[in-house]
Amino acid sequence: MPKLGELVEKVRSKNAGPFWVTVDIFCGRPDLYELVRTSLPTSLVARIYGADEGAIKRFEIADLNVVKLSFPRPSVQGTLKDRDMHGAALAVLIDEMEL
């Protein structure tokens, strides 16, 4: 099975402030957008990131062929427990996921 990152144009994660992280999935084409939108349930994202499913904010932007997921950071940015100051490494967990 192909990995998500092999199908879409880009998967990116970044800070959305000191308490939140956002993962953007740039699908590039409407058919890939539909595939990602329907194959990536919020419950799976919650399991992958160890987040509470109810806390995840999901934005499906059909005009841009983008699925955006925001969730609370595992630890506040810049604290001693923070292992990824910019939230950039978290994209790999979705990028490497098989669809």
pLDDT of amino acid 27: 97
User: What pLDDT digit, counting tens, does each position of 44-92 carry?
Assistant: 999 999 999 999 999 999 999 999 999 999 888 888 888 888 888 899 9
pLDDT of amino acid 48: 93
DSSP 62-74: GGGTEEEEEEE-S
- For residues 77 and 15, is the Cβ–Cβ distance under 8 A? yes
Question: Which residue is associated with the tokens 């308490």?
Answer: 19
pLDDT of amino acid 22: 96
pLDDT of amino acid 65: 98
Its pTM stands at 0.92
